[in-house]
Amino acid sequence: MTEVNLIKGDNRRSQEERRAETRGRLVEATIKLLHEKGAGQLTMEEVAREAGLTRGAIQYHFENPKSLLVASIFEIAERLSRHLDAEALMRLPLDERIDHIVDNYWQGFGGVNYAAFIEIAMRGRQDPEFESAITSTLAELEEKRAIVWQAVFADSGRNREEIQSWRRMLMITLRGLALTKMISGDQEKVSLHIDQFKDMLRRYLTE
């Protein structure tokens, strides 16, 4: 390969990296503002300002504000699915596994990302494009996490359906607690409920 071609290749990679970085900054700013302000007050001007960019950058990298929000949905799902390390968890005693995995799930549901996801879902609940993006993203996230959950508790002596039923119960519990935290900010009450769920799961899997 000639020196000219190498330079062109480096320039293309550099441009792609810059584009990816700019898109990432816009998505990050969107998620942060959704958490802080809610979807109802979100404006593209604020997103651009938070990202340290211009409104034109949004128009260049995203077809419209809706496509930016859809990109944010995908990024949130990626963040929520990347925390679990099944191999590391399986090396722990069962009691510690329960604490780690429930805390890990709550880290996702109780943080900025899930709050932003809820805001997008509420804003787009009447929009077929949003609904499709949210449904497909949730389905993929659920599938990934169900596989890890099954692997982590495969040696508990319970069958697959029993193990997955506890995961579904955890999902319902944490979603409700996430909304409770968003509305009331009562972290102490939320922590109490999480500890109670851990105790129930521990008794069920170790009895």
pLDDT tens for 17-44 read 888 899 999 999 999 998 888 777 788 9
Rounded Cα gap, residues 103 and 46, in angstroms = 33
Q: Which two tokens stand for residue 40?
A: 């109802």
Instruction: Yes or no: say if 115 and 37 are a contact pair by the CB < 8 Å rule.
Output: no
The per-residue pLDDT for range 101-116, each reduced to its tens digit, is 899 888 888 888 888 8
Question: CA–CA separation, 66 vs 55, rounded Å?
Answer: 14
Residue range 175-192, pLDDT digits in tens:
888 888 877 777 788 888
Burial class (CB in 10 A: 0-12, 13-18, 19+), 63: exposed
Domains belonging to the chain, first-starting first, are 1-62 (1.10.10.60), 65-206 (1.10.357)
Q: The pTM is what?
A: 0.72
Residue type, 174: L
